[in-house]
Structure 1
Amino acid sequence: MATERTIVRALAAFTGSLALLLVGLVTPASAEPETPVAYPSGSTATRANRLGFDACTAPSLTALKAWKGTSPYTAVNVYFGGRNRACAQPNLSKSWVRGATKAGWKLLPTYVGYQPYCILGGKHYHFRASNATSRGTSDATDAVARAKALSLRPGSALYADIEHYDRSKSSCRTAVRRYVSAWTKTLHAKGYLAGVYVHQNSGLRDLSDVYNSTKVARPDAVWMARWDGSESLTGWPTAPNWQWSVYQRAKQYRGGHRETWGGVTINIDSDRIKAPVATVTRTYKVTSTVSLNARKGPSTSYPVVRKYAPGASLRVVCQSRGKKIGSTRVWDRLSNGAWVTDRYVSTPSRTGFTRAVPRCTYPGQVTASALNTRTGPGTSYPTTGSPLPRGSLALVICQKKGSNVRTTSVWNKLRDGRWVSDYYVSNRSNTTWSRPVPRCR
């Protein structure tokens, strides 16, 4: 009987794999390593592709103003919490976050929590394999509370700082993986993306080694320290290029040094960033002469949930396409989750997207080893572009019904216009729509 059951299971597995190969897909992962992000309404992910710097203490807004336009940097790290945070932060506040964002800076939030017990340095608060999960959970919970206090919206990527450690100790490697897994799952459950800052020869190597492990959750982005002067985000010696490959990498390529721009000198590390960063609202005004309707979705077919008087302030999180109103199809998603047409909002553009405002995206990690992308929502559409590797972030902007794949007929439209089956993207459901992703119009 045991032999017969083994044969039956093998035949079933072969049949399932063959069916999936016919549509160019492979079996999805279980909950781990790809755990879904529970995005609330009024959230979005924000990504950056630029040079940045990190300083122990957040610079003043005056210093940032002096550096903006004179330096090559347009992103700045902020150490926003953690038991092992080294420097005081007299400048860091909600108003600082608003001011830095309004000036055009993207923010890279970093949390210096508990460190591995085998750390090669003098941090005082440590975790071991026995308590790494609880430390990762508590640090992530505290990080979310501190992020919200600074008005860093859900959908933001929060980065755990894991300093260089002695990876010759197997228990320490286990501890780091457990901590990062708990950090990731806790942030995902609270609506945030999970990043980690790691050294190329310890944390990055150990996370790369378990990239496909079903025992630990995989972070969404890695920020690697390697002070070789190269800004390259590929060709890393301890993680292959296909891992964390879609706007999921940053590199600290130069260590502490002083730079002067606009007459202001700051001691910094230099970074190249192509990764998710903080999401922050931007305030605009209602420009209509009558009350502006805010709706449940980006179209006049959705019910009205609120009205805003002429001149009222709106906290805009992101923009997406919807029903054309006047000269524009752009709709603005507000911090309360409602939508208003951009036609009557004081954003710079009346016809298209505003560059300073992020597109509404709800990333989920790809659960297939190589996910085909197509020109439309179905397997009958031709493939286009390179397949997405496992663990890459599918930057979903909206969803639409298409051909059935396994348990769902939902397809995701990506930011670049390609389509993928929702079955192979880690989000809230493998059978139906995933809130708060809007329907494609």
Structure 2
Amino acid sequence: MSAAQMFLRGLAACGGSLALLVAGLALPAAAEPETPVVYSSGSTATRANGLGFDACSAPSLAALGAWRGTSPYGVVNIYFGGNNRGCAQPNLTPTWVRGAVAAGWKLLPTYFGYQPTCMFGNKPNRYNAGNATARGSSDGADAVAQAQALGVLSGSGLYADVENYDRTDGPCRTAVRRYVSAWTKTLHAAGYLAGVYVHQDSGLRDLSESYNWSAYARADAVWMARWDGDPSLTNWPTAPNSQWSYYQRAKQYQGDHDETHGGVTINIDSDSVRAPVATVARQYTVTSSTPLNARSGPSSSSPVVRTYAPGAALSVVCQGSGQQVGPTAVWDRLTNGAWVSDRYVSTPSGTGFSASVLPRCTYPGQVTVDLVNARTGPGASYPTTGSPLRRGALAYVMCQRAGSRVGTTAVWDKLRNGSWVSDYYVSNRSNTTWSSRVPRCP
């Protein structure tokens, strides 16, 4: 152990997170529990913040149309795969996914794969402590393939369903942690955020207990089942507010019941969601009268990678800030990773972000220290914002810029809310230089 590490440990023992506020002394975490996500070029995280519902089978687009605007819900769950999935999914196709998103819904993808041996219930496909890592890896790989087949893109949050189980079975608790860790690392390697659906009295307790353990990769988000009628995402009895603290929580607060909206009745569970969900491209067209250049970055000085004819279709993933072009500094990122100025695209706004339909381009990484101050600019001399990030929180990085050196890097991350943190404290792909896929700040 280095002198700096001994010093930090001593301070932490005496004063909690004080040690982690000493700039330049806090060291990056090991590979676990914070593993980096390997984003693809045409990717972004998409967040939801509101009420949702889950039904065993995906409702028809007509049913979703009847519920849109007449129900309190804006998020719908989809059981998109897994060998323990119980209900048929006749509606769940790429066309349905595109149609649901085009209608304004956000999708919460859930994978019902292998379950722990001590699970309550009769699901047949189980894992134990000996094969949990292999099962988590294989389920993760299959989940990525199933998501991609539906058009659910890199950067999406995918949720492994871990049903309630017997916590008195010690080896089974270990198996759950191994499964979730392998699920998380497999999804991260493929460019996806890893979520997990858990019961408040079993999975949430165990994952909360091992939140900082270096033996396991930490999931990016938790979706907790507790049917108490309370949609609150804080003050949960089995996980402190400091864990999964920033757009990383959902709660299933009411179980199996019928609701009718717009004349259509569906049997659902009700959810509160403030967490990453599915990223799905939306279709727009080129509005310029001359060919539109798509570039490697959000600037007219970036190299041209492709040209689109007037009226051509564009698959837009997200929007980011870039060089001012006419009345707007908004640039659109396409599924192939290229950027085009939003001035020449048929999105709803020609002067700013089309926030109601397109997410802001972000590339989250978990915070690797107990507490890190967010600042108003890319340097330790800038004032703090008063909203520090806790360990494991998702730092929703929009872009990177050079600033003051912290530890091994001078790279700073601009976050979704406009604040800045040193990249040294974020589990991106590098803590010494720029991270691939994240654009430079204009």
- The question of a shared fold, defined as TM-score above 0.5 by the shorter chain, is answered with yes
Task: Give the conservation status (yes or no) of the 8 Å contact 1:25–1:372.
Answer: no
TM superposition shift of 1:387: 1.2
TM superposition shift of 1:27: 2.4
Paired position in structure 2 for 1:414? 415
2:137 maps to 1:142:
no
> In the aligned structure 2, how far is the partner of 1:182 from the partner of 1:252?
24
SS of 2:72's equivalent?
coil
Equivalent residues in 2 for 1:315-330 (5 A)?
315-330=315-330
Paired position in structure 1 for 2:66? 66
Task: Give the conservation status (yes or no) of the 8 Å contact 2:24–2:407.
Answer: no
Paired position in structure 1 for 2:250? 250
> In the aligned structure 2, how far is the partner of 1:15 from the partner of 1:209?
25
> In the aligned structure 2, how far is the partner of 1:381 from the partner of 1:424?
17
Query: What letter matches 2:333 in structure 1?
Result: R
SS of 2:318's equivalent?
strand
> In the aligned structure 1, how far is the partner of 2:381 from the partner of 2:283?
43
Q: Indicate the RMSD between aligned Cα atoms, in angstroms.
A: 1.3
Please give the per-residue CA displacement for 1:88-142, whole angstroms capped at 9, x wherever unaligned.
0000000000000000000000000000000101100000000000000000000
Task: Give the conservation status (yes or no) of the 8 Å contact 1:52–1:75.
Answer: yes
Equivalent residues in 2 for 1:79-94 (5 A)?
79-94=79-94
**Change in 2 beyond 3 A, CA 1:21/1:388:** closer
Equivalent residues in 2 for 1:7-86 (5 A)?
9=1, 11-14=3-6, 21-23=21-23, 26-86=26-86
Paired position in structure 1 for 2:424? 423
Task: Give the conservation status (yes or no) of the 8 Å contact 1:24–1:371.
Answer: no
> Which deviates more from structure 2 when the two are superposed, residues 320-329 or residues 381-390?
381-390
Task: Give the conservation status (yes or no) of the 8 Å contact 2:8–2:25.
Answer: no
SS of 1:92's equivalent?
coil
> In the aligned structure 1, how far is the partner of 2:227 from the partner of 2:82?
24
2:263 maps to 1:263:
yes
- TM-score when scaled to structure 1? 0.96
Equivalent residues in 2 for 1:111-260 (5 A)?
111-260=111-260
2:380 maps to 1:388:
no
> In the aligned structure 2, how far is the partner of 1:256 from the partner of 1:327?
50
TM superposition shift of 1:56: 0.2
SS of 1:49's equivalent?
strand
> In the aligned structure 2, how far is the partner of 1:359 from the partner of 1:327?
19
TM superposition shift of 1:12: 4.6
TM superposition shift of 1:29: 1.2
SS of 1:222's equivalent?
strand
SS of 1:141's equivalent?
helix
> In the aligned structure 2, how far is the partner of 1:108 from the partner of 1:124?
25
Task: Give the conservation status (yes or no) of the 8 Å contact 1:248–1:276.
Answer: yes
**Change in 2 beyond 3 A, CA 1:78/1:124:** same
TM superposition shift of 1:427: 1.0
SS of 1:178's equivalent?
helix
TM superposition shift of 1:23: 2.0
Query: What letter matches 2:3 in structure 1?
Result: L
SS of 2:289's equivalent?
coil
> Which deviates more from structure 2 when the two are superposed, residues 20-29 or residues 354-363?
20-29
Please give the per-residue CA displacement for 1:270-302, whole angstroms capped at 9, x wherever unaligned.
000000000000000000000000000000010
> In the aligned structure 2, how far is the partner of 1:168 from the partner of 1:371?
36
SS of 1:134's equivalent?
helix
Paired position in structure 2 for 1:296? 296
> In the aligned structure 2, how far is the partner of 1:213 from the partner of 1:124?
30
TM superposition shift of 1:435: 1.2
Paired position in structure 2 for 1:357? 358
Task: Give the conservation status (yes or no) of the 8 Å contact 1:25–1:371.
Answer: no
**Change in 2 beyond 3 A, CA 1:326/1:230:** same
SS of 1:236's equivalent?
coil
Query: What letter matches 1:168 in structure 2?
Result: T
Paired position in structure 1 for 2:401? 400
2:375 maps to 1:374:
yes
Task: Give the conservation status (yes or no) of the 8 Å contact 1:52–1:273.
Answer: yes
Task: Give the conservation status (yes or no) of the 8 Å contact 1:25–1:368.
Answer: no
Query: What letter matches 2:104 in structure 1?
Result: G
Paired position in structure 2 for 1:6? none
> In the aligned structure 2, how far is the partner of 1:12 from the partner of 1:155?
35
SS of 2:347's equivalent?
coil
> In the aligned structure 2, how far is the partner of 1:244 from the partner of 1:13?
25
2:272 maps to 1:272:
yes
**Change in 2 beyond 3 A, CA 1:371/1:25:** farther
TM superposition shift of 1:22: 3.7
Query: What letter matches 1:83 in structure 2?
Result: N
Paired position in structure 1 for 2:14? none
Task: Give the conservation status (yes or no) of the 8 Å contact 1:25–1:370.
Answer: no
Task: Give the conservation status (yes or no) of the 8 Å contact 2:156–2:276.
Answer: yes
Task: Give the conservation status (yes or no) of the 8 Å contact 2:25–2:407.
Answer: no
Paired position in structure 2 for 1:435? 436
Query: What letter matches 2:405 in structure 1?
Result: N
**Change in 2 beyond 3 A, CA 1:163/1:308:** same
Query: What letter matches 1:150 in structure 2?
Result: L
Paired position in structure 2 for 1:348? 348
Query: What letter matches 1:103 in structure 2?
Result: A
TM superposition shift of 1:256: 0.3
TM superposition shift of 1:13: 3.0
SS of 2:246's equivalent?
coil
> In the aligned structure 2, how far is the partner of 1:53 from the partner of 1:92?
16
**Change in 2 beyond 3 A, CA 1:240/1:307:** same
Query: What letter matches 1:73 in structure 2?
Result: Y
2:93 maps to 1:101:
no
> In the aligned structure 1, how far is the partner of 2:253 from the partner of 2:63?
22
SS of 1:145's equivalent?
helix
Please give the per-residue CA displacement for 1:391-416, whole angstroms capped at 9, x wherever unaligned.
00001000000011111000000011
Query: What letter matches 1:13 in structure 2?
Result: Q
TM superposition shift of 1:382: 1.4
